[in-house]
């Protein structure tokens, strides 16, 4: 769906979030019960089905950030495997088409995060 330029690998995101004065904004598109199993400390939970019904103004309210802050910090999206987050990035880019807000997907989601950054991150399988 997205090109490599539209994505960031988990380790690069980790370094960016640790070393930046302006912490990136992170949207987690998983369901609340999945979010409660484990998530990154700065993640804002907006499930994919809810996100894709929001207007740009609704997203700004959910993130508690204005357009300039979103532009300066960048908005990254994560999910379990990196599939829903790609859909979310495409949707957000459409909603914010004139805003120049950078939206990126974290490649491979939390499954890749657990391999590249935090081996203790809880991984689960949907049944």
pLDDT in tens, 31-54: 999 999 999 989 999 999 999 999
Q: What is the DSSP string of 48-98?
A: HHHHTT--HHHHHHHHT--HHHHHHH-EEEE-SSSSHHHHHHHHHHHHTTT
- Is residue 19 one of the residues assigned to a domain? yes
Give the total number of structural domains in the chain.
1
Domain span at residue 29 reads 4-116
Residue 2: band (very low, low, confident or very high) from pLDDT cuts 50, 70, 90: very high
Percentage of residues of the chain with pLDDT beyond 90:
90
Q: Please indicate, yes or no, if residue 122 is contained in any of the structural domains.
A: no
Classify residue 124: in a domain, yes or no: no
Report residue 32 CA to chain centroid gap. Answer: 15
Residue 15's pLDDT band, with cuts at 50, 70 and 90, is very high
Can you give the pLDDT at residue 126?
Answer: 64
State the average pLDDT for the chain: 95
Is residue 43 one of the residues assigned to a domain? yes
Residue 127: pLDDT over 70? no
Q: How far apart (Å, rounded) are the C-alpha atoms in residues 37 and 49?
A: 19
Tell me if 105 sits within 8 A of 77, measured CB to CB. yes
> Count of CB atoms within 10 A of residue 82's CB?
22
pTM: 0.94
pLDDT score at 21: 84
Distances from the Cα of 74 to the Cαs of 4, 36, 100, 104, 105, in angstroms?
17, 24, 10, 8, 11
Whether 127 is in a domain gets the answer: no
71 lies in some domain: yes
pLDDT band of residue 19 (cuts 50, 70, 90) is confident
52-106 residue pLDDT tens: 999 999 999 999 999 999 999 999 999 999 999 999 999 999 999 999 999 999 9
Q: What is the CATH number of the domain that holds 31?
A: 3.40.250.10
């Amino acid at each position: 769906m997205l090109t490599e330029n539209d994505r960031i690998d988990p380790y690069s995101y980790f370094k960016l979030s640790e070393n930046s004065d302006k912490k990136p904004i992170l949207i987690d598109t998983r369901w609340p019960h999945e979010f409660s199993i484990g998530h990154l400390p700065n993640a804002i939970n907006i499930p994919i089905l809810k996100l894709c019904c929001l207007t740009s103004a609704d997203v700004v309210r959910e993130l508690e950030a204005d357009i300039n802050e979103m532009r300066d910090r960048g908005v990254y999206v994560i999910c379990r495997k990196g599939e829903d987050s790609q859909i979310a990035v495409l949707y957000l880019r459409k909603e914010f088409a004139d805003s120049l807000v950078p939206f990126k997907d974290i490649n491979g989601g939390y499954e890749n995060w657990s391999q590249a950054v935090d081996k203790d991150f809880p991984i689960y399988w949907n049944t």
